[in-house]
Structure 1
Amino acid sequence: MANVLPAERRLEVLAALVNGTSVRAAERMTGVHRDTIGRFAQAMGEGCARLHDRMVRDLTCALVDLDEQHSWCRKRQIHVDAAKDDAAAVGEQWTWAAICRTSKLVIAWHVGKRDQESADTLVEDVRARLSTMPQISTDGLGLYAQPIAANFGPAVPYGQMIKNFTARPGKPGTSEKFAVERGVDFIRKRTISGTPDHAKTTTYAIERSNLTARQWNARLRRRTLAFSKKLSRHCAAVALHYVHVNLCHIPRNMRVSPAVAAGVTDHVWSLEELMVAALEEPAGEKPEPQPLAIPKPKGPARELPAGRGWLRVVDGGKGSAAPAPAPEPTPAAPTATPDGGQGPIHAVVDRGPSAQLDLFAWKPKPRKPVQLSLFGEPEG
């Protein structure tokens, strides 16, 4: 008979793992051996991935941000003579993720190298989980353009936010390593396809999600000994973190979890509910891409046939109506005099601040006469 931890002890281990504790620290806190914690964490991560595939489908996300995050697995460097299969699981690993900016729901993620294959895998997974055409925002990485055009079409609103960094002198008194620091000089936005709204072209949501992942997942932290020694454990830890954030966490500026805000579930899950559902989730099929509905734009618009989109009115074009001329000011009535006449022709009439000035109302400003002295001012 296999040894199985009691439910209370497993819940203690799970609470430690999802709150940024390493495996060895969880061992010291709970008294459970690290090998048992590792097997339990991998089983939870794989179950969370299956749970995510079943629940996160047919999303109506208007704004989607994509980004990648750096981490390590086993060791920092790869030997030149390493086998091809082993080299893929050794060294730096990148967590590619996509988030719905409105609901803060992590739509999809992928762990791999920083190459075109990983970018294609992430975009294909995002496309399979959406039911409406979103506006996509990324940084300046060029690996996103090809899969986004191939999966969403050339008319998808896709914009990039590019940060321009320059080297600046560091603070006085710092070491030589930090004598020069990088800073953002300015941000440039550009259109890759479609007509994205550059006021909404930003990656702040996915960057904030990456920061949360580094705080709550010890394997993703910089300069740490808690990094994964096996790629399968690393992928399971990433899946556990994202599913826990989607179902159980309530962001500070929201009242419900991201899954509730996105319509994936109807309540905020407890940690115990997540543990039971992940361990009992059977293997299922990955979501398949469905036809995308193009959302109706704001303002006057007419739907094109065969669901090809909308024809909207854009101000400022050749067919726009000419601006209406400004109304002419109403002339003021003449001033009446006691004798019944209409007064002199040079009388001053107050027409208000926007009325035309009366040229006959001008008078020269009186000046004090100054007598010139040929010998200067007398002394005393």
Structure 2
Amino acid sequence: MVTITLQCPHCQSEKLVRNGRAPNGKQKYLCRSCQRQSREHPAPHAYSAERREEILRAYEERSSLRGLERTFGVSRQTVITWIKKGCATLPALDETLMEPDANDQEATVLELDELWSFVLKKTNPAWIWIALCRKTRQVVAYTIGDRSEATCRRLWETIPLSYRASHCFTDFWAAYRAVIPEEQHSAVGKDTGETAHVERWNNTLRQRLARFVRKTLSFSKSPVMHQACLDLFLHRYNRERVLRLGKMEALR
């Protein structure tokens, strides 16, 4: 007589109890030790790491979740899970930044701006505040909230210390004057070109992620997904800037 002992695939405990059946008819089990579910003979991962990366890259080129379903045959719930898991393992944003040259005063000049977006409905705005390094075009800090002074202060406190002592260019929104030290701040109009890079970056974000377009059917239904998608994009964008600047430096 052969005895088969089942183990939890998560914690290897043998304290498993039957817990209903999956839609495909397979038996599901609940682990009494870690309280996680599993099923008998689980299928191997259907998507390799390379395939996941390809799908996520397509998502960051303005494809919607339903568009990915039609193109790649992947469930949009699966893509949402990948986004949330990928966001949870990201390093701090300042770890993606190039080290500024201490002898170059222009290396840490910042341009700040706020970008309108919404979650679920347009009456629920979620303003994205961005601090962009003028020289490298990298996003050194960001925050999401309303358009108040408190949110602006949260952005200011998020800026790395190596950049916080530099000069900042913004528009005439009053919150900037209340937060940024007067000797470091210049409020300018768009016609001066001093905030041209961050204004252009706003267009890049809207072009790359459909949920940030002003008039779109691809919108975030929860603040968690709104921030997770933005986090993934910012980390990838900053890393791509490092590679691009490295190639430009090598060609000189």
Q: Would you call these one fold, judging by a TM-score over 0.5?
A: yes
The answer to whether 1:107 aligns with 2:140 is: yes
Question: C-alpha displacement at 1:147, in angstroms?
Answer: 1.8
Greater relative CO, 1 or 2 (CA 8 Å, sep 6+)? 1
Provide the TM-score with structure 1 as the length reference: 0.49
Correspondence for 2:179 among 142, 147, 167 = 147
Question: C-alpha displacement at 1:117, in angstroms?
Answer: 1.6
Query: CA 1:202 to 1:229, structure 2 compared with 1: closer, same or farther past 3 Å?
Result: same
Correspondence for 1:43 among 85, 98, 101 = 85
Alignment of 1:302-321 (within 5 A): none
Aligned twin of 1:121: 154
Q: Following the alignment from structure 1 to structure 2, what is the Cα–Cα distance between the partners of residues 43 and 133?
A: 35
Deviations 1:113-158 (A, max 9, x none): 11112101111111x3425732210001010122212xxxx532x2
Write the letter of the residue equivalent to 2:197: A
Q: Following the alignment from structure 2 to structure 1, what is the Cα–Cα distance between the partners of residues 147 and 177?
A: 14
Q: Following the alignment from structure 1 to structure 2, what is the Cα–Cα distance between the partners of residues 139 and 15?
A: 33
Correspondence for 1:237 among 221, 225, 229 = 229
- Where 1:66 maps in the other structure, the secondary structure is strand
Q: Following the alignment from structure 1 to structure 2, what is the Cα–Cα distance between the partners of residues 132 and 112?
A: 20
Q: Following the alignment from structure 1 to structure 2, what is the Cα–Cα distance between the partners of residues 118 and 134?
A: 20
Aligned twin of 1:54: 95
Larger Rg: 1
Write the letter of the residue equivalent to 1:231: P
Give the share of equivalent positions with the same residue, in percent: 28
- More helix by percentage: 2
Aligned twin of 2:117: 71
- The answer to whether the Cα contact below 8 Å between 2:100 and 2:108 also exists between their aligned partners in 1 is no
The answer to whether 1:136 aligns with 2:164 is: no
Task: Give the count of matched residue pairs.
Answer: 202
Gaps of 5+ in 2: 1-8, 10-37, 39-43, 102-106
Aligned twin of 1:217: 209
- Where 2:116 maps in the other structure, the secondary structure is strand
Query: CA 1:249 to 1:21, structure 2 compared with 1: closer, same or farther past 3 Å?
Result: farther
Deviations 1:201-221 (A, max 9, x none): 710010011000000011101
- Where 1:108 maps in the other structure, the secondary structure is strand
- Where 1:95 maps in the other structure, the secondary structure is strand
Q: Following the alignment from structure 1 to structure 2, what is the Cα–Cα distance between the partners of residues 249 and 20?
A: 19
Aligned twin of 2:104: none
Query: CA 1:7 to 1:247, structure 2 compared with 1: closer, same or farther past 3 Å?
Result: same
- The answer to whether the Cα contact below 8 Å between 1:58 and 1:131 also exists between their aligned partners in 2 is no
